């Protein structure tokens, strides 16, 4: 669901003109950014559950960064940190976008998302498992990308028309085209491994 997270950031940007796109894009990936050092140190791991690898073939043991409580904490920390530099309102938006990573992962992950960090007491692990159905999962992600792209394109075009300059309209088309290519590239990277 890597590409789907970026698509959500694009859709949020379409609705929120003030929060910088870079902050939304970073915010939507903060759980994975926090996951990398824990993966490198062996605190969190990835196991292949489908022979041959590919899209959705892994079981991710991210008991801290991808727990529900961990996602809430990362979202709150993002809201506070980004709020200090970008203003309270923008910080809250980035914090919500950071937390949005967890519900989107809930859709596609196999049951590997804990409720509490480290899963004390062996609580049930969550995940609806769409990755077990790669075509359905890829279609959902493609739909998110299409929606995010179209919303962002409409936003960029409306903003350039409001500014009233022809070169700004061309810039809006290029901006939306580049975002679309990045989203598509992200989806292809997800699905093709």
Tokens representing residue 19 in the block: 């929060």
Domain range enclosing 99? 2-192
Cα-Cα-Cα-Cα dihedral sign, residues 32, 34, 35, 41: positive
Considering the chain, what is the average pLDDT of its residues? 85
Cα–Cα distance between 193 and 187 in angstroms, integer? Answer: 10
Q: What are the beta bridge partners of residue 58? A: 48
Number of structural domains found in the chain? 1
What residues have CB less than 8 Å from 94, skipping those under 6 apart? 19, 23, 24, 26, 27, 78, 79, 82, 83, 86
- Tens-digit pLDDT profile for residues 52-100: 556 666 788 899 999 999 999 999 999 999 999 999 999 999 999 999 9
**Mean pLDDT, residues 30-58 taken together:** 83
Q: Are 126 and 71 in contact (CB under 8 A)?
A: no
pLDDT at residue 193 greater than cutoff 60: no
**Mean pLDDT, residues 125-153 taken together:** 87
DSSP 164: T
């Amino acid at each position: 669901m890597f590409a789907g997270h970026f698509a959500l950031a694009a859709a949020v940007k379409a609705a929120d003109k003030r929060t910088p796109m870079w902050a939304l894009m970073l915010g939507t990936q903060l759980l994975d950014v926090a996951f990398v050092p824990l993966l490198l140190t062996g605190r969190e791991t990835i196991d292949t559950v489908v022979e041959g690898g590919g899209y959705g073939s892994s079981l991710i043991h991210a008991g801290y960064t991808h727990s529900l409580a961990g996602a809430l904490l990362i979202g709150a920390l993002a809201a506070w940190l980004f709020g200090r530099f970008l203003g309270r309102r923008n910080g809250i938006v980035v914090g919500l976008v950071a937390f949005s990573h967890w519900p989107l992962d809930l859709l596609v992950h196999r049951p590997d998302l804990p409720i509490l960090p480290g899963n004390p007491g062996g609580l049930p692990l969550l995940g609806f498992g769409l990755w077990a159905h790669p075509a359905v999962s890829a279609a959902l992600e493609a739909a998110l990308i299409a929606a995010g792209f179209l919303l962002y394109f409409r936003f960029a075009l409306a903003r350039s028309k409001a500014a009233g300059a022809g070169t700004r309209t061309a810039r809006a088309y290029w901006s939306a085209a580049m975002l679309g290519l990045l989203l598509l590239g992200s989806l292809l990277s997800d699905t093709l491994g």
